[in-house]
Structure 1
Amino acid sequence: MKVDREMEILLNEIPLLHHVGLLGGSEAGADDDADLSFLIHELAAMGLVDGDDELPAPGAATGYGFPTKGENLVAMHSFSMASHYAHMRSLFVPVTFDDAAAADGWDIRCSPPPYVPLPSPATPRARCKSVRRKNGSVMTTSPKKCGAAAAAKWHGESLAGLRGVMYHMARDQHGCRLLQQRLDDGKREVDYIFAGVSRHAAQLMVDPFGNYLMQKLLAVCDDGQRMTLVLTLTADPFALVRISLNVHGTRAVQKLIERLSAREEIGLVMDALRPGFLELIKDTNGNHVVQKCLHSFASNDNKAIFAAAALHCVDIGMQIHGCCVLQRCIARSRGEHRDKLVAAIAHNGFKLAEDAYGNYVVQVVLDLKIPTANSSLAQQFGGKYIHLSMQKFSSNVVEKCLKVFKEVDKAKIILELLATPHLEQLLPHCYANYVVYSALKNSKGSLHSALINAILPHEELLRTSPYCKRIYSKFFLKN
């Protein structure tokens, strides 16, 4: 009860007043004429003690343990922190008033508070600006609950009055679902929803629920509304990049890219994505946005992507997501854009061939069978085929070279294999054995016979080594 709480606080304050000398103690330099009648009146007003209309005469016994005028309270009741903790309990420990009175000599009489009937609970209503009390403070209802309440109230009714809370509805699971359903009701409802959420497009695109509404809104809005969304999203140079990097936002941006048709819209989106191209292309979510641009836009619209890919081909080609985007760039580029990109990759072919991801990019370039590119790669690989054949990733590139190179360049690879003084080390090697097998398959004539003759002395090794089973079964069991 409130009265009990206030009484306990006053009881705990009495020893502290002793301690600081406020009750007339000479050690604290207090005034000898200090009058404590005000404290008695406060206790009487609270119903803790019996108050009198008139103050007690000087020197008369008060009955409350208070010193009379001129008496030294410190001399009467010496105070120490130890005695204070011994007699005065913590405010947080329940105290019975009988025990307190017995311990301190207080005559406590506290009448119960008057009974006040509680108001009957009102019927709960969903209101956006409703308030509630919690720990003595006023709190407003959360916006998401406002959105859910609005969704429940306005199901099946006009959306004209929901513009103020439509953003909050879109971030609520049920509210977002309702708005998506209302988008199918015609142009009027689309206009209402667009007016309510278009200003918050960037926030809704990264929202777990709001992104679904934005995707559907992009599919049904007209050209003017779509242009408004594009201008909103590209006003901040990095806003569209941040949205594309988000796990929810990437889907909404991909849907936006699918719906773009005007050259002006495409130009605005490409200009907004360009500053974060390198980050987007390496990101789990962002790389899908770049690939959607490559798939949806014409080659000339993607020229900025092709130029950046050629400039950073080594950096992105040696990354798990980047190598996929780089392969898509090769497939979608045309004319001079593809020539520059292929030339840049071929120029760095040896470094990429040894990489876990870059080797796939080199193989794609080899499959194009562009004479200038393959010639550049053959020149870089020459004299290093043994080294490349004994590595996990580059051995795949050597196998591809044996398939797509011209006969002259194939002969150089096979001659390098024959010239090695330790062919018996390549045959049982876990990676090089595939290169030898591919050389046997893609050679013919005298070169093929020379390779067979070099392998024959090692027939016993081929029979026992687990890595030579393919070579032995294909070229020796038949004979």
Structure 2
Amino acid sequence: MGYNTYPSYHSHLSSAEESAASLGSECRSNRRRLSKKRGKEKKYAPTMALSGDFEESGSLLSIKVAKDQDGSRFIQQRLAVADELWNDVYGNFIVQKLLEFGTDGMKEGLAKRLRSETLSLSTRVYGCRVIQKALDELSNRDVASLISTFKGNVLLCLNDHNGNHVIQKSISILFKMAKESRENGEDDLCTLYLESIDPIVEEIIQSVELLAKHAYGCRAVQRMVEYAIEPLRSKVLDSIIASQDSLLCHTYGNYVVQKALEHGRPSDRDAIFKSITLDNSVIKFSKQKQASNVVEAMLRLGDDRQRQQIVQEMLNCFCVDHYNVTENAVLSMSKDPYANYVVKTALKVLQEGEQRDRLFSILLSHQADLEEVPFAKHIVAMLNTHRQSGEEDTAMVNVEDKK
């Protein structure tokens, strides 16, 4: 009996199973190829594993299988028993593509499976990517259902390197959905979305100061300020303002205060302005690494009155340097590693007028000294530009006079 008389294995498979078998073969081939590359270039292995040939060819094959009627059923059956795909270095790409290109039925099936896995996957390296993709691709109701499962575990996720990204995305997506529903007059949907996000909001509001000082938690608080709708946004802002004194000079907290300046209410800007100007504290805060960021933001985002009062303090105050020499605060700030950025911002945002002229006048009269200070190089560059601009204006006037 010749070899050809034996039936091949693939002759017993449906078209969907053949495609799936081909997908498996392609996966194994790519694994072997990546394995060989790792042997030669070990230090590049993580990048190759995440963005190598498998991601492209494997995803395309999974899309082909998913769009076939039998293939769709085949994959759904396999997903029912293949939990390892969620957090697999390769399998997560397949699940993401199914979420993006799969049929409505497949997405519904994936949504049901993910509800019981949302929390565990959110804190895993590849699983968190699947959850974030699900938040982008599933129906609004399914998204709300997934997010509601974080109840009681929000702080756990916010303290996690992977989970905090899922919470941030949950905040931005669900509040956008709630805002659109409210604007469209769909009050029932808006209520549903707000009830789903409520567990996240409550845990954040109860721990705003703690989270604002955390490397990951501060990001979630910032997303709340950016995307929350009223009255929830006001609750978050109230908590930030109540804690601002301890946040101004904090490594992470200062970013939360800046976000409150950018997206907060006029009353929030007034409260922060009062804190950084109380007892002539502008110079002190400007020379502090983290608080200087807030002073800069206040110059950019405050109103004209607030901006002018900050600059007036800079012009009127004096500082004593290391050699016990008294000099204008503007000069002292220009030589400081952090306060020099405040001076530079002031020069940028001030409108033409007396204050701006005084600033340039003080700095130009000491330009030679500033050129010797590394931290003042940006200001010196601005002085040169200003001087050149003034000379060009004078030349233009002389030309006009001659005419």
Asked if residue 244 in structure 1 is aligned to residue 122 in structure 2, the reply is: yes
- Once the two structures are TM-superposed, the CA of residue 475 in structure 1 deviates from its matched residue by 4.8
What are the Cα deviations for residues 84-142 of structure 1, in whole angstroms up to 9, with x where unaligned? xxxxxxxxxxxxxxxxxxxxxxxxxxxxxxxxxxxxxxxxxxxxxxxxxxxxxxxxxxx
Residues 389 and 435, structure 1, Cα contact 8 Å, conserved in 2:
yes
Q: Specify every segment of 5 or more residues in structure 2 that has no aligned partner in the other structure, as ranges.
A: 1-7, 31-53, 179-189, 321-328, 391-403
Corresponding residue to 2:76 among 186, 194, 211: 194
* Structure 2 SS opposite 1:183: helix
- Please show how residues 222-261 of structure 1 align to structure 2 within 5 Å: 222-223=103-104, 225-235=106-116, 239-261=117-139
Tell me how many residue pairs correspond in the alignment.
320
Residue in 1 aligned with 2:148?
271
Instruction: From the superposition, tell whether residues 354 and 221 of structure 1 become closer, same or farther in structure 2 (CA, over 3 Å).
Output: same
Asked if residue 398 in structure 1 is aligned to residue 295 in structure 2, the reply is: yes
Corresponding residue to 2:317 among 396, 411, 419: 419
Higher helix share: 2
Q: Which moved more, 1:428-437 or 1:323-332?
A: 323-332
What are the Cα deviations for residues 125-164 of structure 1, in whole angstroms up to 9, with x where unaligned? xxxxxxxxxxxxxxxxxxxxxxxxxxx94488228999xx
What are the Cα deviations for residues 211-247 of structure 1, in whole angstroms up to 9, with x where unaligned? 3333344345554554444344334xxx422211111
Corresponding residue to 2:227 among 332, 337, 354: 332
* Structure 1 SS opposite 2:152: helix
Instruction: From the superposition, tell whether residues 155 and 467 of structure 1 become closer, same or farther in structure 2 (CA, over 3 Å).
Output: farther
Residues 307 and 341, structure 1, Cα contact 8 Å, conserved in 2:
no
Residue in 2 aligned with 1:462?
370
Q: Which moved more, 1:290-299 or 1:425-434?
A: 290-299
Alignment-mate amino acid for residue 343 of structure 2: V
Alignment root-mean-square deviation, CA: 4.0
Residue in 2 aligned with 1:204?
85
- Please show how residues 277-296 of structure 1 align to structure 2 within 5 Å: 277-296=154-173
Q: Distance in 2 between matches of 1:355 and 1:433?
A: 19
Residues 198 and 229, structure 1, Cα contact 8 Å, conserved in 2:
no
- Once the two structures are TM-superposed, the CA of residue 444 in structure 1 deviates from its matched residue by 5.7
Instruction: From the superposition, tell whether residues 270 and 460 of structure 1 become closer, same or farther in structure 2 (CA, over 3 Å).
Output: same
Corresponding residue to 1:407 among 304, 307, 313: 304
Alignment-mate amino acid for residue 205 of structure 1: W
Alignment-mate amino acid for residue 362 of structure 1: V
- Once the two structures are TM-superposed, the CA of residue 375 in structure 1 deviates from its matched residue by 0.8
TM-score (norm 2): 0.65
- Please show how residues 341-360 of structure 1 align to structure 2 within 5 Å: 341-360=236-255
* Structure 2 SS opposite 1:293: helix
Residues 15 and 70, structure 2, Cα contact 8 Å, conserved in 1:
no
Q: Distance in 2 between matches of 1:452 and 1:430?
A: 20
Residue in 2 aligned with 1:5?
none
Q: Which has the higher contact order (CA 8 A, sep 6+)?
A: 2
Instruction: From the superposition, tell whether residues 161 and 261 of structure 1 become closer, same or farther in structure 2 (CA, over 3 Å).
Output: closer
Residue in 1 aligned with 2:285?
388
Q: Distance in 1 between matches of 2:302 and 2:356?
A: 16
Residues 390 and 432, structure 1, Cα contact 8 Å, conserved in 2:
yes
Q: Distance in 2 between matches of 1:212 and 1:451?
A: 57
Residues 269 and 302, structure 2, Cα contact 8 Å, conserved in 1:
yes
Instruction: From the superposition, tell whether residues 155 and 308 of structure 1 become closer, same or farther in structure 2 (CA, over 3 Å).
Output: farther
Alignment-mate amino acid for residue 419 of structure 1: C
Instruction: From the superposition, tell whether residues 270 and 376 of structure 1 become closer, same or farther in structure 2 (CA, over 3 Å).
Output: same
- Once the two structures are TM-superposed, the CA of residue 473 in structure 1 deviates from its matched residue by 5.4
* Structure 1 SS opposite 2:337: coil
> Structure 1 runs of 4+ off > 6 angstroms?
159-162
Residues 319 and 332, structure 2, Cα contact 8 Å, conserved in 1:
no
* Structure 1 SS opposite 2:149: helix
Residues 280 and 290, structure 1, Cα contact 8 Å, conserved in 2:
yes
**Percent of pairs with identical residues:** 25
Q: Distance in 1 between matches of 2:17 and 2:301?
A: 68
Alignment-mate amino acid for residue 287 of structure 2: M
Corresponding residue to 1:432 among 328, 339, 344: 339
Q: Distance in 2 between matches of 1:214 and 1:437?
A: 49
